[in-house]
Amino acid sequence: MTRFAAPIAEQIWDMKYRLKEADGTPIDATVEDSWRRIARSLAEVEAEPKAWEDKFYGALEDFKFLPAGRITAGAGTARSVTLFNCFVMGTVPDSMGGIFDMLKEAALTMQQGGGIGYDFSTIRPKGAPVAGVAADASGPLSFMDVWDAMCRTIMSAGSRRGAMMATMRCDHPDIESFIAAKADSARLRMFNLSVLVTDDFMEAVKADGSWELKFGDVVYHTVEARDLWNKIMRATYDYAEPGVIFIDRINKANNLSYVETIAATNPCGEQPLPPYGACLLGSINLARLVDRPFEDGADLDEELLDDLVATAVRMMDNVVDASRFPLEEQRLEAQNKRRIGLGVTGLADALLMVGQRYGSEEAARQTEQWLKRVARAAYLASVDLAKEKGAFPLFEAEPYLSSGTMRAMDDDVRAAIGEHGIRNALLTSIAPTGTISLYAGNVSSGIEPVFAYSYTRKVLQKDGSRTEEEVVDYAVQMWREKFGDKELPDYFVNAQTLAPLDHVRMQAAAQKWVDSSISKTINCPEDISFEDFQSVYLEAYETGCKGCTTYRPNDVTGSVLSVSEADKTPSEAPALAQDGTAGAEVVYMSEPLDRPQSLEGATYKLKWPDSEHAIYLTINDVVVGGHRRPFEVFINSKNMEHYAWTLALTRMISAVFRRGGDVSFVVEELKAVFDPRGGAWVQGKYIPSILAAIGGVIEKHMVSIGFIEGEGMGLKSDPQADVVNLGSTPRGQACPSCGQYDMRMVEGCMTCGSCGHSKCG
């Protein structure tokens, strides 16, 4: 009897969380083995490991507590990876040497699998004088381009590239360039962008006042606050970025405001963090805790919730001691404050099970009640840990209890903290849970509404083909099992039908009892007016949210998948023939594909006459639309004279392959290169140059995988690379992992509905 509620859940476990040997042989035979591995690893720091191992296993069992993916995949593996999801890096110095020191730290952190956040407000604006070198500064955006390029080259541990967040203060002189950066679709693709909006700025917007843009004590420009606000709104209306972070509210509410100032967040925004701060995440699966779902008297088992939260807090506190850290500064920051981010997932499903409509005032009150229960249980559990193991090292009772969040906490909790201290400085956060929610049986993600009651997902098979399977929301599946084909009640709503202000109401209700922040996307209809769109952000500010991220489908961002309750399937992109008409197997991508975790390919040995060393060509393929196509080339030789040009050739050919389309013209271009020193006879055929020989090897590979029909049958020149377009339907971005046009914004991060790829994990 499988523990998995849906086939997709088992696939996610096998692909992302199951421990395997380097050759792919499973070590975790079952998901129970994975739970046992995690439980044993996190219990090792306890005085009585075996007792706590069983308790931890019970929390993990049946997907009740879901540690973040880094923990689920990495705990107990003895691999050199961090169990923390994301980091905010150190303050960027306003000097060339300091900037590139920070770049190195970022590379080391992403190498171990951590996403990173940076505040670029500390770099002087473009055109500012640089003392001693008689030059003008290039500005923070030029250095962000460097970070972006670095991120593209580093594959994070696990299955995705590193995600990055860049923030900039609303009074920085380059803020207008920052706001407009994503107008260029090819720029800063590895970054999420957010503007740090202050209370003073919001007051100036409401008063229609002026606003100074300054760096240090120097005022560079004075603008109208409302004009600047409109530029932020127009950019996010058109490009879904930048997001907005209400930074003064974050700092005033921070339990640690007496020892730190926050100026950045992790990539999805749910963890505002100080320099070298790290986010340690996990979620309580509310959908598994409802008694008598869809029946009279259905409610959440609050005693089970309290016990589960207490166990989860202990497990996450142990992660601080069990994890490795890319940098020593990160380890010290984590251990001095022991910050954790315990959140929830399955909220929308739980609300459905108790008969409440997501977005309603009733549902908002219920959400606030449940999350207050989570917060109380978490804080009291952390007090108990402080009694046993000691408070976090930087704890000071009076300033801690005077912080914005703690002033709202119940008196009994405040009294317990005052008497015994607390083990963890901050405890709650609502993180993106897209992948772990699928793993838990496709429960609704985080505090988001159900995205779609069911949809069709394309699953890549070992032979390169793709099959389709229905993926059904957990609560909907439970309804079907109880009531068969009986029509869903009218309180079943999804992200496609909710009004934007219903989203805001739910985010604001949750924020009251979340001491960090929330990763949430407010879906807006394509035809929402600009004025109504702006009102969403103003409502988020007025109702106490710490930030706001919206998504409005359009030609740039792409369409939100429209799915009926039953079985509508996202349509496929028609392939383009060489004349640009539909029908062939050639697909041009709107942007280059990123590299999947694993690829199939072949290595060829090329021995050039009169050369001491052979050249080895490895050509790897990706499957797009069920067909193999060349994706990347590696050229290796022991002859150091070859090093520079083979490296350059590798990069250029791979870049062309990743753009999509009929790239067979590369073969013909290489085969046409003549060496003025003369070619060579190879296997009875005259080859005009070593580059032509390489072209011949690539051609041979293309024929073997069926990309071209035979020798000499590739294109003779680079065709016009038209972007696939489905009539009048905006397509937006192709998935960088599977190539499907099924990207959607979920919890502040673009996520593929076909394969589950997410830039943010």
pLDDT tens-place string over residues 150-206: 887 764 333 345 689 999 999 999 999 999 999 887 789 889 999 999 999 999 999
Assess whether pLDDT exceeds 80 at residue 564: no
Average pLDDT over residues 315-341: 96
291 token code pair: 């008694």
Q: What is the DSSP letter of 368?
A: H
pLDDT tens-place string over residues 309-322: 999 999 999 999 99
CB 56 within 8 A of CB 242: no
Q: What is the DSSP letter of 464?
A: S
266 token code pair: 């992790």
pLDDT band at 253 (very low <50, low <70, confident <90, very high): very high
> Please, what is the Cα angle at 466 between 659 and 10, to 5 degrees?
115
Judged by phi (left if over 0) then psi (alpha if -120 to 50, else beta), residue 747 lies in left
Q: What is the DSSP letter of 207?
A: H
Query: 436 Cβ partners below 8 Å, 6+ apart?
Result: 66, 68, 69, 72, 283, 345
16 token code pair: 């992302």
For the chain, the average pLDDT equals: 87
Phi, psi of 71 (to 5 degrees): -70, -50
Given CA atoms 54, 58, 63, 66 in this order, what sign does their dihedral have?
A: negative
Q: Which residue has the tokens 């317990």?
A: 416
Assess whether pLDDT exceeds 70 at residue 86: yes
CB 285 within 8 A of CB 347: no
Least confident range from 316-325, 334-343, 469-478, 716-725: namely 716-725
pLDDT of residue 141: 96
Phi, psi of 56 (to 5 degrees): -65, -40
Residue 737: which of 599, 612, 558 has the closest Cα? 599
Helices (H), 354-449: 361-389, 397-401, 404-407, 411-420, 434-439
pLDDT tens-place string over residues 631-648: 899 988 877 777 788 888
Q: What does the alpha-carbon distance between residue 653 and residue 634 come to, in Å, rounded to a whole number?
A: 9
Q: What is the DSSP letter of 504?
A: H
Assess whether pLDDT exceeds 80 at residue 29: yes
The kind and range of the H/E element at 348 are helix 347-353
pLDDT of residue 465: 62
Q: Would you mind telling me the total number of residues written for the chain in this entry?
A: 761
Pairing verdict, β 210-215 and 685-687: unpaired
475-479, Cβ contacts within 8 angstroms, sequence gap of 24 or more: 475/287, 475/293, 475/348, 475/349, 475/352, 475/353, 475/443, 475/444, 475/450, 476/450, 477/5, 477/6, 477/441, 477/442, 478/293, 478/294, 478/353, 479/294, 479/352
CATH code reported for the domain at 92-265: 3.20.70.20
pLDDT of residue 558: 61
pLDDT of residue 466: 67
Q: What is the DSSP letter of 485?
A: T
Assess whether pLDDT exceeds 90 at residue 656: no
pLDDT of residue 461: 61
Secondary structure (3-state) at 220: strand
Q: Which residue has the tokens 């803020």?
A: 175
pLDDT band at 497 (very low <50, low <70, confident <90, very high): confident
Q: State what percent of residues in the chain have pLDDT above 90.
A: 62
pLDDT tens-place string over residues 658-694: 877 778 888 888 888 877 677 787 777 778 888 889 9
> Please, what is the Cα angle at 108 between 39 and 335, to 5 degrees?
50
Boundaries of every domain in the chain: 92-265, 600-704
Predicted TM-score (pTM) above 0.75: yes
pLDDT band at 729 (very low <50, low <70, confident <90, very high): very low
Residue 742: which of 456, 496, 463, 432 has the closest Cα? 456
pLDDT of residue 111: 78
Q: What does the alpha-carbon distance between residue 378 and residue 389 come to, in Å, rounded to a whole number?
A: 16
CB 603 within 8 A of CB 618: yes
pLDDT of residue 264: 96
pLDDT of residue 492: 94
Assess whether pLDDT exceeds 50 at residue 572: no
pLDDT of residue 593: 59
Q: Residues with catalytic annotation?
A: 266, 268, 270
The kind and range of the H/E element at 211 are strand 210-215
Pairing verdict, β 129-130 and 341-345: unpaired
DSSP string, 84-151: --EEE-PPPPSSHHHHHHHHHHHHHHHHTT-EEEEEGGGSPPTT-EETTTTEE---HHHHHHHHHHHH
Strand ranges, E, within 437-595: 454-460, 466-472, 522-523, 547-548, 550-551
pLDDT of residue 594: 62
Assess whether pLDDT exceeds 50 at residue 732: yes
pLDDT of residue 164: 92
pLDDT tens-place string over residues 579-621: 333 333 444 444 555 677 778 899 999 888 877 778 889 999 9
pLDDT band at 23 (very low <50, low <70, confident <90, very high): confident
